[in-house]
């Protein structure tokens, strides 16, 4: 139930004691109404307030956890429809399918491929999250066997895709300790599956075709006492998925509609491989909690994982990269040295264009609080003195034999002053990094 700030305020002690961290009870009420504070923060709330506000103080979308320890994947707790309003909190978890119809050798090969779907990017590693075993064989014993094998071979958290309580119980007895996702409950099996999910304390996927039916079933399962749920409206074509995902998210956030207050699960099972990836791009952008895809080719998974990473970065803050010496290729002692700013986009453009120029080089992104060259210059965040200090502390002087610094075209006015205080020769580079290749050809020998 959505309550406005004033309705919440009426139920608070109105003493303005500040114990909640807010200046007044009214301020606290407004925070709660916006979904930014929980009633737990007020130690003086009456039982009546707790009762009435319980629902309002719960997050619009429940936090659901799959996996344990280092491999835990958190989903839910989202608060917005558009990422320009606020950060999307928990990245879509990507799971790769393994069918239990494969023979042992094929299972092993597939799991090895899945285990390899990890990519380094700027010193961090990004990869897939789940290995999803699907009970295509309809044979409970075979399912358990494959789950056991997969769990032995992969450090990734399993997702158990079966509708058969017997198969699922068998699998859970093997891997419950890794807190796998169980999928899924439908109107015919939900009582048995809910009991299993409760017994083993694992999240449960719920699938019914149609949103009305989905709301009904999610509500029934919640009444049975299980609230670690993932929703699937049964849609499989991208247009229908987009529509359902949008409505589920709107109902959860704008209407606080409890039956849809859970993350979702989507399946990219387009018949065409490349289209599966493109469907997945839409799902990751539009609210999928878990995404299951039947692809293991890194050429297809790398773009998808990169997209997921991009969508779930914080849109409010310009990403600043660390101000230090970066190498493009394997630069030698005569390699060019480029100065730029530490706004990640500026840096990446320069880096990409130097890479395409195929000239190994050093890049020095001076700290401008993550702003671009022109913004930084206009705001006085890049000065000759600052560049001098950065040149000295970065240690670049020990790594090259020359003393020639290429500065962005936008900083040309600093040339004389920079030369004077640093003792380096200053080369004015292009204003646009896209012509770095031509610039190097004509100016760097």
Partner 1 sequence: MGVELVQERWKGKLYALTIGREPYQVVAGGDSTLPFLDLDGGSYTRPVSALTVFDRRPENWPDTLTGAWGDVLDNPVQWARKCVELGADAVALKLVSAHPEQGDRSPQECAATVKAVAEAVDQPLIVLGCAVNEKDAAVLPVVSEALNGYNCLIGQATSENYKTVVAGCLAHGHSVIATSPLDINLAKQLNILMTDMNLPPDRIAMDLSIGPLGYGIEYAYSIIERKRTGALLGDRMLAMPVICLVGEEAWKVKEAQRADDLEWGADEPRGILWEAVTAVALAQAGASIFVFYHPEALRQFNTQIDALMGK
Binding site for ligand SF4 (CB under 6 A): 12-13, 15-20, 22, 25, 28, 42, 44
The phi and psi torsions of 193 (rounded to 5 degrees) equal: -70, -35
Q: Is 438 a residue that touches partner 1 (CB under 8 A)?
A: yes
Half-sphere exposure in the Cβ direction for 245 (13 Å, CA) = 27
Q: Is 19 a residue that touches partner 1 (CB under 8 A)?
A: no
DSSP 253-319: HHS--GGG-S-BEEEE--SSHHHHHHHHHHHHHTT-SEEEE----HHHHHHHHHHHHHHTS-SSSPP
**Contact, 120 vs 127, CB < 8 A?**
no
Half-sphere exposure in the Cβ direction for 159 (13 Å, CA) = 29
Q: Kindly indicate which of the ranges 137-145, 185-193, 304-312, 419-427 contains the residues binding partner 1, using the contact rule CB under 8 A.
A: 304-312
| Residue 59 C-beta: closest distance to ligand SF4, Å | 19
Alpha carbon of residue 298 to chain centroid: 19
Residues 6+ apart with CB under 8 A from 103: none
The phi and psi torsions of 362 (rounded to 5 degrees) equal: -105, 145
Q: Is 353 a residue that touches partner 1 (CB under 8 A)?
A: yes
Site for partner 1 in 228-257 (CB under 8 A): 237-239, 242-243, 246-247, 250-251, 254-255, 257
Choose between 297 and 392: whose C-beta lies nearer to partner 1.
297
Q: Is 119 a residue that touches partner 1 (CB under 8 A)?
A: yes
Question: Which of 298, 360, 397, 409 contacts partner 1 by CB under 8 A?
Answer: 298
- Beta strand ranges found along 57-207 (DSSP E): 64-66, 73-75, 93-99, 118-121, 124-127, 130-134, 157-161, 181-185, 204-207
Q: Is 125 a residue that touches partner 1 (CB under 8 A)?
A: no
Residue of 433, 408, 427, 443 lying closest to 350 (CA atoms): 433
Choose between 29 and 238: whose C-beta lies nearer to ligand SF4.
29
| Residue 36 C-beta: closest distance to ligand SF4, Å | 14
- Interface pattern 361-400 for partner 1 (x via CB under 8 A): -----------x-x--------------------------
Residue 433, phi-psi category: left (phi > 0), alpha (psi -120 to 50), beta (remainder):
alpha
Residue 327, phi-psi category: left (phi > 0), alpha (psi -120 to 50), beta (remainder):
beta
| Residue 411 C-beta: closest distance to ligand SF4, Å | 51
Residue 243: other Cβ atoms inside 10 A:
14
| Residue 270 C-beta: closest distance to partner 1, Å | 8
Residue 338 CA to residue 351 CA, distance in Å, equals 10
Choose between 121 and 402: whose C-beta lies nearer to partner 1.
121
Q: Choose the contact partner of 102 out of partner 1, ligand SF4, none; CB within 5 to 8 A by kind.
A: none
Residue 312 CA to residue 404 CA, distance in Å, equals 39
Choose between 40 and 297: whose C-beta lies nearer to ligand SF4.
40
Question: Which of 36, 69, 82, 225 contacts partner 1 by CB under 8 A?
Answer: 82
Q: Choose the contact partner of 192 out of ligand SF4, partner 1, none; CB within 5 to 8 A by kind.
A: none
| Residue 56 C-beta: closest distance to partner 1, Å | 18
Residue of 298, 221, 303, 208 lying closest to 261 (CA atoms): 221
Binding site for partner 1 (CB under 8 A): 82-84, 116, 119, 121, 211-212, 215-216, 219, 237-239, 242-243, 246-247, 250-251, 254-255, 257, 259-260, 272, 274-275, 277-279, 281-282, 285-286, 297-300, 302-304, 306-307, 309-311, 313, 315, 344-345, 348-349, 352-353, 355-358, 372, 374, 432, 434-435, 437-439, 442
């Amino acid at each position: 139930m959505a309550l406005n700030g004033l309705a919440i305020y009426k139920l608070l002690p109105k003493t303005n004691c500040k114990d909640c961290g807010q200046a007044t009870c009214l301020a606290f009420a407004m925070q709660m109404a916006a979904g930014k504070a929980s009633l737990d923060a007020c130690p003086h709330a009456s039982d009546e307030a707790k009762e009435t506000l319980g629902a309002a103080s719960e997050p619009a979308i429940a936090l659901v956890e799959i996996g344990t320890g280092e491999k835990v994947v958190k989903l839910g707790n989202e608060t917005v429809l558009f990422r320009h309003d606020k950060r999307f909190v928990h990245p879509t978890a990507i799971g790769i399918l393994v069918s239990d119809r494969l023979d042992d050798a094929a299972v092993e090969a597939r799991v090895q491929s899945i285990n390899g779907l990890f990519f380094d990017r700027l010193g961090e590693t990004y990869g897939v999250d789940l290995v999803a075993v699907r009970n295509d064989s309809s044979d409970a014993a075979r399912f358990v066997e494959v789950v056991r094998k997969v769990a032995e071979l992969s450090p990734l958290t399993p997702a158990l895709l079966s509708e058969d309580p017997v198969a699922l119980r068998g699998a859970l007895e093997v891997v419950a300790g890794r807190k796998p996702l169980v999928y899924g409950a439908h109107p015919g099996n939900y009582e048995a599956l809910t009991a299993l999910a409760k017994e083993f304390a694992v999240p449960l996927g719920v699938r019914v075709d149609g949103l009305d039916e989905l709301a009904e079933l999610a509500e029934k399962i919640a009444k049975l006492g299980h609230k670690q749920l993932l929703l699937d409206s049964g849609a499989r074509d991208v247009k229908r998925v987009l529509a359902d995902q949008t409505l589920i998210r709107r109902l959860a956030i704008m209407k606080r509609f409890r039956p849809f207050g859970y993350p979702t699960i989507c399946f990219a099972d387009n018949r065409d491989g490349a289209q599966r990836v493109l469907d997945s791009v839409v799902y990751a952008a539009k609210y999928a909690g878990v995404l299951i895809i039947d692809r293991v080719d890194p050429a297809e998974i790398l773009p998808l994982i990169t997209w997921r990473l991009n969508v779930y970065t914080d849109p409010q803050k310009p990403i600043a990269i660390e101000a230090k010496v970066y190498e493009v290729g394997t630069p030698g002692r005569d390699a060019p040295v480029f100065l730029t700013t530490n706004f990640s986009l500026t840096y990446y453009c320069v880096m990409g264009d130097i890479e395409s120029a195929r000239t190994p080089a050093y890049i020095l992104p001076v700290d401008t609080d993550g702003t671009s060259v022109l913004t930084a210059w206009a705001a006085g965040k890049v000065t000759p003195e600052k560049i001098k200090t950065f040149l000295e502390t970065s240690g670049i002087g020990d790594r090259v034999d020359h003393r020639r610094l290429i500065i962005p075209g936008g900083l040309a006015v600093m040339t004389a002053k920079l030369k004077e205080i640093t003792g380096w020769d200053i080369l004015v580079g292009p204003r646009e990094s896209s012509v770095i290749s031509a610039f190097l050809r004509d100016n760097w020998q």
